[in-house]
């Protein structure tokens, strides 16, 4: 088993909304940053490559508000590898508190045919470094 991928982002003043806290859409941007960095390191997001990754499901639980200024820690773990899908769980952490949790399902897509591709053994081996059995 592996360990979650961890990255950080800095909240900006423009991320706040009329209520003075971080807008809910920014949470999704933070989650995307974690997923994108992990998938780029794994070799799935080459801009001119033959395949890419698409989201087929995204579920977010907003647990507490975030405020500016702050640094955000994004933890991304792979919890299952299917035939064509990658299931992930993520946490957005600010001030040492979990502010959001997310569950995401990604599919590797052939850029020419726009169809899902089966995960190869090489892809599974690469992704396994972030495969975590119990990550909530």
Residues 74-127 pLDDT 10s: 999 999 999 999 999 999 999 999 999 999 999 999 989 999 999 999 999 999
Checking if the pLDDT of 33 tops 90, the result is: yes
- Would you state the structure tokens that stand for residue 19, as one six-digit string? 């209520």
CATH of the domain at 34: 3.10.129.10
pTM of the model: 0.92
Could you tell me if residue 135 is inside a domain?
A: no
Range of the domain at 66: 5-128
**Tokens 């892809």 — which residue?**
123
Q: Is residue 134 domain-resident?
A: no
Laid out side by side, the sheet with 71-81 consists of 5-10, 71-81, 85-94, 97-110, 51-62
Number of structural domains (the chain) is 1
């Amino acid at each position: 088993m592996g360990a979650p991928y961890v990255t950080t982002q800095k909240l900006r003043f423009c991320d706040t909304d009329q209520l003075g806290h971080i807008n809910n859409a920014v949470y999704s941007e933070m989650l995307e940053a974690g997923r994108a960095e992990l998938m780029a390191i794994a070799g799935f997001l080459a801009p001119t490559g033959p395949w890419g990754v698409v989201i087929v499901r995204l579920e977010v639980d907003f647990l507490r508000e975030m405020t500016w200024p702050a640094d955000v820690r994004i933890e991304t773990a792979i919890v299952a590898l299917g035939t064509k899908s990658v299931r992930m769980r993520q946490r957005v952490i600010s001030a040492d508190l979990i502010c959001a949790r997310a569950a995401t399902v990604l599919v590797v897509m052939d850029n020419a045919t726009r169809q899902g591709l089966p995960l190869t053994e090489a892809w599974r081996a690469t992704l396994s470094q972030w495969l975590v059995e119990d990550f909530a």
